[in-house]
Every structure is written in structure tokens, then in C-alpha cells.
Amino acid sequence: MSFSPSRRRFLKGTSLIVGGAALALGGGSLVASGALTPNDAPTQSGERLTPPPTLSVRREAAFVRAALFTAASPVRLAGHAVSTLTYGGSVPGPTLRLHEGDHVRLHFRNRTAEHTSLHLHGLPLSPEADAPFGHQMPGEARDIEFDVPAGAAGTYWYHPHAHGDVARQLFAGLAGAVVVAGPLDDEPGLRDADDRLIILKDFSLSGGQVNAHAPLDGQGKHGSMTLVNGQHRPVLHATSGTLRLRLLNASTARPYRLALQDHELHLIATDGGLIEKPVALTELLLAPGERAEVLVRLRGAGRFELQRLPYNNGAVDQGSADSLLTVHAPAGLRPVRLPHVLASVERLDPATAVATRRLVFDATFPLRFHINGQFFDPARTDFTGRRGTLELWELENAHAFDHPFHLHSFGVQVLERGGLPEPFRAWRDVVNLRGGERVKIAVPLQRFTGRTVFHCHVAEHEDRGMMGVLEVRD
Ligand code: C2O
Ligand code: CU
Ligand code: CU
């Protein structure tokens, strides 16, 4: 697909709101209320894009210590004063910046009045360190210790994981980025790019608060304003002729089909870090929880919009496009040369797999979601695998909504989608399943033993049962 004049014309009539979008529920179809409170419109747009604060860390050689807390705090979102749940007092939370080879001890404290937790999404933590079944009560703390292995450079994130409350707490603003640097970041093609975090998260506000979920939002709440790093339509003033955008979908449910006006996106990293060589795209879909890194070679001076294109995930039809951010390119910038070679991504041989599993994602009316007909039960183990073996998982979406699959502790590679081989090798931890789609993935159970979870990353679906348990043993 390319940018046609008709599409550009179409994009002019952008709309801020999902109001009026058709919401499908079960067999019927409803229309979302278009009524907005005055609080629901941004009061500030066009500010300079600011990155989230950086979490301060104490470094002694490769030993890294940091502390992060959750608390209800006052923040500004799109110009509104809002009191909401935060990590470290800001929305998004402070960015945890690490390096391959780091040994990390992260002290987490819950200073809110409710139970919550901290999950480091996508980093290869053991099930024990990740502790996906646990949470901290008000005032409680826990230390999370882990190593950042070689080859892990990439963009990850953190968010709460207290089952049943994930969607509400994440929607309220509990999310932040983790950026892992590695030796390839020092190569000229990456080093000289203007490196930016772009955290996409939608909000709805009223009365100085983030709106709670209404009953229908159980299918996946879409906020009325889509913000970038908590800002409405900010402006990115480019400082290099090549941008490196680290895109993170921190929304509970909203997918983003993204394009940059008049520019190609050169994909360099997926969830699991750098891929083997840049892949040129005109658009890319970022499912909830998913990350991608792209290089953009700016085509001279001008203003270019990062757009969210129309997309229907079967639950909500985002029928009109929206502008998320404007890139402002001054005259005189020179793009840097694209790297030809990035990382090497291990080739997994499906012939060596010791198990083939089938996971069917579906729903029951009203608004309960399951895998293989079963709702999440932390006491039940759904699959047992052996450490050091390779498994093939056939993911089948028997439902009409998109369900982005996610597995903790173990990276996966997509082998086939809809019977077609995946065009390039990449490590991932989120794999979107479109309505009716079948996707085959390779799951190497490397390094860790223990019990962990896989689930749909639409947080509302996960809270409503769409999660299972994997145990890996020796
Ligand atoms: Cu992003 Cu189980 O989580
Ligand atoms: Cu995760
Ligand atoms: Cu789902």
C-alpha cells in the first residue's frame, strides 16, 4: 500500500474520538455514545514532544540498582490536571534504561491504596523473578532481580499484572518503557539517528480523573483521546535526518495501524529486539502490548504526520484516521546510511520440536473470554513442557475480535500466518491474531523452569479469563 492522493484527502477529515464508532458485541451491534464531557477534549496540543523521565539507577560496574513505586499522583494529560495511578509520579512512568550484561535489582513498592504489581513485559525473566501470579498489598514491596542477556537490546515495557484489575490499572496510566542498549546501538546507522520513545496510550477523562470502565468496556476499552507520552498531538523536532522511533502500544485494547505521511518505515526491531536487516514498510500494525522500532529517513524539510489509520479489530471500528504526532524536519538535515546488517536471529528448526499444541481463542456471551474453552485458573496448569526443548504452538482465533497472544519468560518466533510463511525471522512476545486467523509459532523453552502465563494482551480479555498457565520442568 502506498500513499495515494485520495488517501491523503481522506486523512484531512480526522476525528479525535471513537464516539460514533460501531461497537460489535456478540452478534448484535451497538453504537458508542458520542457524547463527551468537556474534560474529554484535549486542552493542549502541539507542544514539543517530551520523553518520559528516566528512572535513576545506581551503577557499580554491571550491577544496577533502581527503585520504582506506584502511587496515586497528580499529572497533566493533554493539558488537563488529573489525579491518577502512576509509576514514579508520572504518566507514562519513568523509563528504565539498561544495558546488555546488566545484573539488575529493582525494588518495587506499592504506595497505592489497592493491590497491584509490576511486570517487566518482554524481558527474559525467570518465572520466579517475574512472579506473574503475585501482587503487592498497599505498603508492600518486593525486589525483582534479573540479568539482561547479550542480544536483548530493544524496547520493552512495564505494567501491572494483578489479575482482574489489570485493565483498570493500566488504563488509568500504570505503564512505562524499558530500553535496553547493546553494542549495535553504537554502529553509525543507529548511533547517529534521533532516538525517540513513542508511547501510545489512550485515555478518557472526567472530573479530573481517568474514566472507570463501563460494563461494555469489558470488550476492550478505547479512550476518547489518543496521547503520545501523555501529550496530545505533540511535535517532534527532528535533530537528525534519520529518526529511530521506538513505538510502544501501552493501550489496554486499542490497536494502532501506523503510517508516517510521505515516508517509508524501515523496521529494525520487533518485541524481542533487533531483526537481521531493515524491512521497508508503508505502514505497520501495533497490537496492544506490542513494540516495534523503525528508522525513518526524512525527505527534506517539512511537517509530516504520524497517523493512526482506520482499523477494525472486530470489536471497535476505528473508522476514521487520526493524527498522533507531527514530525517537524528543519532544513539541512542529512539522513544517515541505513544499516545493511543488524542482529543475527537464531533459526529454529520446526523438525526438532518435541510437542505441538493447539490454542483456540474464543469468547462466550456476555464478555467472557477463554482459551481452549477454559477460563484462567491460577491453580490449574494447562501445559507442561521440558526445559531445553522446542515446541510448536498453533494459535487459532475462533472469534471475531483480534486477540493479541502474549507469553511471559520465553520469546517466540512466528513460522506461518494463515498458512503463509513469515517473511522474516524475528523474536516476539506479542503475536496478533485477527478474527478467524491461524498462526503457527515456535516456542523454545530455554533457560528457565517454573510456572508462568500466556494470555491475550487486550487487558480486559485477560482479566475476563483469556489466560492460561505453562509449566516448564527439567
Ligand atoms: Cu504485558 Cu502478562 O503481560
Ligand atoms: Cu508480559
Ligand atoms: Cu483478546
Query: DSSP secondary structure string, 225-281?
Result: EEEETTBBS-EEE-SSSEEEEEEEE--SS--EEEEETT--EEEEEETTEEEEEEEEE
Task: State which ligand 1 atom lies nearest to the alpha carbon of 159.
Answer: 1
Query: Under a CB-based contact definition with an 8 Å cutoff, are residues 276 and 343 in contact?
Result: yes
Q: Hey, what amino acid is at 237?
A: H
Expressed in angstroms and rounded, the spacing between residue 430 Cα and the centre of ligand 2 is: 9
Distance CA 118, CA 175 (A): 9
Query: pLDDT value at position 8?
Result: 33
Closest CA to 337 of 187, 236, 237, 196: 187
Ligand 1 site: residues with CB under 6 angstroms?
Answer: 119, 121, 159, 161, 289, 406, 408, 453, 455, 457
Task: State which ligand 1 atom lies nearest to the alpha carbon of 462.
Answer: 2
Residues 6 or more apart whose CB falls under 8 angstroms from that of 326 comprise: 46, 233, 234, 235, 236, 303, 304, 305, 306
Query: pLDDT value at position 40?
Result: 78
Task: State which ligand 1 atom lies nearest to the alpha carbon of 467.
Answer: 2
Which uninterrupted H or E stretch holds 169? Answer: helix 166-172
Task: State which ligand 1 atom lies nearest to the alpha carbon of 453.
Answer: 2
- CA 360 from chain center: how many Å? 22
Q: Which residues of 71-80 are buried (b: 16+ CB within 10 A; e: fewer)?
A: eebebebbeb
Distance CA 329, CA 331 (A): 7
Expressed in angstroms and rounded, the spacing between residue 150 Cα and the centre of ligand 1 is: 22
Closest CA to 39 of 199, 221, 203: 203
Question: Which three three-digit cell numbers place residue 226?
Answer: 489518543
Query: pLDDT value at position 22?
Result: 36
Ligand number with the minimum distance to the CA of 435 = 3
Nearest CA to ligand 1 atom 1: 121
Task: State which ligand 1 atom lies nearest to the alpha carbon of 430.
Answer: 1
Task: State which ligand 1 atom lies nearest to the alpha carbon of 121.
Answer: 1
The order of strands in the sheet holding 430-431 is 383-386, 467-473, 450-456, 405-407, 430-431
Provide the residues around ligand 3 (an ion) whose CB is within 5 A: 403, 456, 458, 461
Provide the residues around ligand 2 (an ion) whose CB is within 5 A: 121, 408
Ligand number with the minimum distance to the CA of 361 = 3
DSSP-assigned letter for residue 195:
E
Q: Which residues of the chain carry a pLDDT beneath 50?
A: 1-37
Task: State which ligand 1 atom lies nearest to the alpha carbon of 429.
Answer: 1
Expressed in angstroms and rounded, the spacing between residue 81 Cα and the centre of ligand 1 is: 29
Expressed in angstroms and rounded, the spacing between residue 76 Cα and the centre of ligand 1 is: 26
Query: pLDDT value at position 365?
Result: 85
Helix, strand, coil percentages in the chain from 3-state DSSP, rounded to 5:
10, 45, 45
Query: pLDDT value at position 229?
Result: 98
Cα-only R_g, the chain: 21
Distance CA 325, CA 46 (A): 8
Pairing mode, strands 205-206 and 209-210: antiparallel
Expressed in angstroms and rounded, the spacing between residue 372 Cα and the centre of ligand 3 is: 13
Distance CA 265, CA 246 (A): 12
Expressed in angstroms and rounded, the spacing between residue 160 Cα and the centre of ligand 2 is: 10
Expressed in angstroms and rounded, the spacing between residue 354 Cα and the centre of ligand 2 is: 25
- Quickly tell me which residue has 490499572 as its cell: 169
Nearest CA to ligand 1 atom 3: 121
What count of Cα atoms within 13 Å lies in the side-chain half-sphere of residue 315? 20
Expressed in angstroms and rounded, the spacing between residue 288 Cα and the centre of ligand 1 is: 10
Ordered DSSP codes for 355-409: EEEEEEEEEETTTEEEETTB---TT---EEEETT-EEEEEEEE-SSS---EEESS
